[in-house]
Chains A and B, each alone.
Chain A
């Protein structure tokens, strides 16, 4: 990873545009108010479109023209995606939209507004904050608080555990299988796909934990981004527990403006489909992400249709809960195939092999048997901790020291340090 100073300009331009746009929006009423908002949105989305989607759109234009025997006249400028662009752009847009909706006053202090966009713990991969939560905290004077330090440190250590002990260990198996799926058996690919579900969860929520912990050390509270998503009983519940800051962003700034649930049944389905497909596209300029998002939209629509028109539901027992959780987990896991696979053909190969139960007796793994069992064990520990001890109690200082140093030692001795960057850094 290299640092390109010129890319800081992008951040500064969006900061300056949105800082002044907010005052103009606040000053005006009627169409002019809307015009300044549009200007701010166009600037933000413009940068995102240019750096994130230009190459993808251009490639597709080239492909379409190629089918007609024509050459694409638009050159490929080889633009690189600045790290965190999707996150800080969405956070900046949230600010101007909230000012437009009169739920937030424009921030007068340029330094504080800049800090809102560039607050380093969550700059590169979220949580995507709202101005109502963060800006007010930047205006508050915080006194030294040892409880914040303890909470911050333990949260960082837990995030590191998720990243280096769980995610990067599972990544060994996932990378091995997904690099060349043609050579792998169905059972190997199935296990790798299940591992990927936990890898991406631990990788991303681990980052969020570290970000929240870093902010807490300095006395700031960031919003929670995950809430044990793999115990969801439905896809809609999953999305209320997974990447909460993004799903609420899309709900507030796309789903509701599209009409929310105050529209007819089929329009509602269409709205959901649009929101989820765009959410897929937000992740990256690739058909795999679009399909991944669209699949979630389709799952959700099917569930809603079933509830409304079939209405058959399971009795409320522990067994049916287990069944619902397993079914939701299976759907989410299979859709991850599109998220992780390199290209559509690889994704189809993986799904075909998993469902054709091809060579299920043949199993290969880059991890030794003991490490495979160890992987299952750490997943189990992770889930039990997340379900039963969502918050680690640090009120007793000696216990905090023991827990913190124990976690750090476990991270060091059982962590896998393969220089794997966080998955969501690419978005």
Chain B
């Protein structure tokens, strides 16, 4: 019993262990109906997420693509096989990573961020990438001591819930509870929001007040500041050796499907339409807005296969064009 409880506790502290259990088929992926359904458990949104067909693109271009992305482009959703680049590095846009640039390649940095985090990420120049050699990492005993003191096991409820209650039967019971609360108290999980017509399940943050809001008005001054920081990011990474830096702001599901909840502040259009903007843009808003509900999963905050594929195709097009235009001799 103690061993079982100990194992469960470790599983709650380790996403690696959870992933291993999932890969071995020992537990079910509790995100299979989408991250929003996982929280809301409303039966109308219980639709299995699409499994996207693997794309076949020739990777003969001498391109190193560094994709700084969030959950839209993380491992499992997108990988090197999607791109024409023959070298691919994925880093988290909300973290800091060191990479090594090979100047014989055409180096492209793509900064992909979901709209709700764009304002906080560009409140100053984005600096998620640095360059360092292995020699820089030379730890003394004091550093090791500090590491031991700071060491912590990050416990996550989510990982436990996945193992214990991620099965269809448990999800059905969760669905009963969700329906009861919805019909009796008109309340859904605090992290989700239904649009007015109750057709779309949305993440709560863009509907809340604050920096992530899709409805709070944004001043022209702030838009200008954001554009300035985007441009400074472009100059910074070009100076550091990237041949091309591209920005892609993925619209919130709320900004496309939940606009009946308020007056959309048009953050993406205003940034992308700014005369002062110098950073090349991959227009995800254009893609997903024209796709409408086809662009987003029913019970998930993220895009469908078609939404993702159109974005990937567009990026491949930009990479190929860039290679031709920027380095004609190659």
Residues of A within 8 A of B (CB): 1-6, 172, 367-368, 370-371, 374, 412-414, 418-419
> Which B residues, 106 to 155, have Cβ-Cβ distances below 8 Å to chain A?
148-149, 151-155
In the complex, what residues of A have CB within 8 A of residue B235's CB?
Answer: none
Please give the number of chain B residues whose Cβ is less than 8 angstroms from any Cβ of chain A in the complex: 17
- The listed residue (B155, B177, B184, B187) touching A1 by CB distance below 8 A is B155
Cβ A413 vs Cβ B13 within 8 A: no
Check if B176 is an interface residue, CB within 8 A of chain A.
yes
Partner of A368, one of B152, B153, B180, B185: B185
CA separation between A414 and B153, bound complex, in Å?
32
Task: Tell me whether A368 and B187 are in contact in the complex, defined as CB-CB below 8 angstroms, given that A2-B152, A6-B151, A412-B177 are known contacts.
Answer: yes
Q: Mark B145-178, 1 if CB is under 8 A from A, else 0.
A: 0001101111101000000000000000000110
Minimal beta-carbon separation of A211 from chain B (angstroms): 18
Q: Give A91 to B184 CA distance when docked, in angstroms.
A: 45
Docked complex Cα distance between A367 and B176 (Å): 20
| Chain A proximity of B148: nearest CB distance (Å) | 7
Say yes or no: A3 contacts B187, CB within 8 Å: no
Minimum CB–CB distance for B176 against chain A, Å: 7
Q: Which of A4, A367, A374, A412 contacts B151 (CB 8 A)?
A: A4
Complex interface: chain B residues within 8 A of A418 (CB): 190
The answer to whether A5 and B185 touch across the interface, beta carbons within 8 angstroms, is: no
- CA–CA, A18 and B304, complex, Å: 61
Q: Is A371 a contact partner of B152 (Cβ separation < 8 A)?
A: no
B186 CB–A CB distance under 8 Å = yes
* In contact, B190 and A368 (Cβ under 8 angstroms): no
Given contacts A6-B149, A413-B177, contact A374 B185 (CB under 8 A): yes
Identity of the chain A residue whose Cβ is nearest the Cβ of B191 in the assembled complex: A418
Q: Is the CB of A368 within 8 A of B155?
A: no
Known contacts being A4-B152, A6-B149, is A413 close to B187, with CB within 8 Å?
no
Check B151–A419 contact: CB distance below 8 A.
no
Q: Bound complex: CA of A374 vs CA of B186, how far in Å?
A: 13
Using Cβ atoms and an 8 Å threshold, which residues of chain B touch A414? 180
8 extra A-B contacts, CB within 8 A, seeds A2-B155, A5-B152, A367-B187:
A1-B155, A2-B152, A2-B153, A4-B151, A172-B190, A367-B185, A368-B185, A368-B187
Q: Which of these, A3, A374, A412, A413, contacts B153 with CB under 8 Å?
A: A3
Contact A5 B151 (CB under 8 A): yes
Q: Is the CB of B190 within 8 A of A371?
A: no
